[in-house]
Amino acid sequence: MLRKGGYLLIDDLHLHSVKELGRYLAKEPGFKLAFDLDKSLVFQKATEVRQLGKWNESPSILRLSEENRCRPNPFAL
């Protein structure tokens, strides 16, 4: 529900899931990276749109899916 011009802070980039969230938002047209604070990122909302696009169509998700497509499944028995 963040409004246009609002800021979103993401902290603890050393955690994999948080780093992936940062990569995801960096590719989203509705967000612009405002500050890179080493272990934190601050994004500014650039649009009035109140929802992200479909997650499975995101450039970040598509890139990761392609990178991992041929790798062995680490959860396979």
Residue range 40-49: mean pLDDT, rounded: 93
Identify whether 39 is part of a domain.
yes
Predicted TM-score (pTM) of this structure: 0.69
- What residues contact 27, with CB distance under 8 A and at least 6 apart? 58, 59, 60
State which residues form the domain around 57.
Answer: 7-68
Identify whether 51 is part of a domain.
yes
pLDDT of residue 41: 97
Identify whether 77 is part of a domain.
no
Higher-scoring residue by pLDDT: 10, 64: 10
If one counts the domains in the chain, the total is 1
Identify whether 20 is part of a domain.
yes
Q: Across the chain, what does the average pLDDT equal?
A: 86
Nearest CA to 38 out of 19, 59, 24 is that of: 19
Identify whether 76 is part of a domain.
no
